[in-house]
Amino acid sequence: MPSKFRHVALIGKYQAVASGLAGASSRQALEGIAHFLLDQGCEVVFESQTAANMGITGHATLEVDAIGVQCDLGLVVGGDGTMLGIGRQLARFGVPLIGINQGRLGFITDIPFDDFERTLLPMLAGAFEEDHRSLMQARVVRDGHSVFDALALNDVVVNRGATSGMVELRVEVDGHFVANQRADGLIIATPTGSTAYALSGGGPLLHPSLPGWVLVPIAPHTLSNRPIVLADATEITIELVAGRDASANFDMQSLASLLHGDRIIVSRSQYRARFLHPKGWSYFDTLRQKLHWNEGVA
């Protein structure tokens, strides 16, 4: 059956090293997937950083923005961090993404590498489930001026410094004062990010279809300071009142150092990431598998 997708981009781990066993294994995996796609009649390009980092030659390459304009599918080979990075960049182009897992957990890169040929064949022919994930637009405002802005697919995290004590944060929602919180930090997570750092911090799982966010304090001074779920149509503002060496992290992949009085303003992005999954995919199957919910059940 001919592929529904004609122009497919391959994206691998940005930090992979071309030398050594891990680099050679990743390079072999990507080249094997490329040959499989060519056999299905797809035109294949490699994301330029992937090709450079892996030492891949003999294939066409494109920068990420060119992939967004020219390609109708992105195949991401790696872990969830790889998918988060490219998902943010391609969301504004609406390019759908399929994740082939070479990482650990694989909540959003959910196709096992060992099974990619059997799984991809029907997906390339159009048999798949489509899953849209919301993004956050975040900016750091200092003295009335935006000094840093970023998209986040998982979470925005305000953290204390590595060697300092707690931070004090003033939290507002849609301009309404919520609380001054003393804690090690604060997480604002999307439903996608609710299975990441927010889960470790005691936050709830949010189904991806929910238009919501979760605010999770990190080791709060007041034990009654609990996670709260908010509508994602709200604007959340976090002001650094006190604390040294604090920072704001965006998907743990970009970082801004904070000064007292800085305000981190988070709102819903106009863009959404598009993930494709095998036909019959269920979010609950993913939770059951990745969180080992059936362990110990006779």
Indicate the helix (H) or strand (E) that contains 36: helix 20-39
Rounded average pLDDT over 127-146: 96
pLDDT per position as a tens digit, 65-89: 999 999 999 999 998 999 999 999 9
Residues in contact with 252: Cβ distance below 8 Å, sequence separation at least 6, in sequence order: 81, 154, 155, 157, 197
Domains of the chain: 7-126 (3.40.50.10330), 135-269 (2.60.200.30)
The predicted model gives 118-141 an average pLDDT of 96
Annotated active-site residue 155? The verdict is no
Tell me the C-alpha distance between 120 and 97, whole Å: 12
At 236-281, the pLDDT tens digits run 999 999 998 999 999 998 899 999 999 999 999 999 999 999 999 9
pLDDT value of position 18: 38
Whole-number pLDDT of residue 16? 47
Tell me the pLDDT of the chain averaged across its residues: 92
Asked whether the beta carbons of 233 and 213 are under 8 A apart, the reply is no
Percent of the chain surpassing pLDDT 90:
79
Instruction: Flag whether pLDDT at 125 surpasses 70.
Output: yes
Q: How far apart are CA 172 and CA 167, in angstroms?
A: 16
Give the active site residue among 65, 80, 149, 155: 80
The pLDDT of residue 5 is 95
Structure tokens at 132: 């849209």
Q: How many residues does the chain have?
A: 298
pLDDT of residue 73: 98
Instruction: State residue 139's pLDDT score.
Output: 97
Q: Please tell me which residue, 213 or 162, carries the higher pLDDT value.
A: 213
- For 159, residues 6+ apart whose C-beta sits below 8 A from its C-beta are 167, 184, 185, 218, 246, 247, 248, 249
- pLDDT tens-digit series, residues 3-61: 799 999 999 975 544 333 355 578 888 999 999 999 999 999 999 999 998 889 889 99
Tokens 């390609």 appear where?
A: 71
Residue 1 pLDDT > 80, yes or no? Answer: no
Residue 261, pLDDT score: 97
Q: Is the CA virtual torsion 232, 234, 235, 237 positive or negative?
A: negative
Q: Are 62 and 48 in contact (CB under 8 A)?
A: yes
What is the C-alpha separation between 52 and 278, in angstroms, rounded?
30
Mean pLDDT to the nearest integer, 141-167 = 93
Nearest of 76, 45, 75 to residue 60 by alpha carbon: 45
φ and ψ of 238, to 5 deg:
-120, 120
Report strand pairing: 7-11 vs 60-62: unpaired
Q: How confident is the model at residue 176 (pLDDT cuts 50, 70, 90)?
A: very high
**Reported pTM:** 0.91
Report the alpha-carbon distance of residue 245 to residue 140 in Å, rounded: 15
Q: How confident is the model at residue 216 (pLDDT cuts 50, 70, 90)?
A: very high
* C-alpha dihedral, 154 to 159 to 163 to 167, nearest 10°: -160
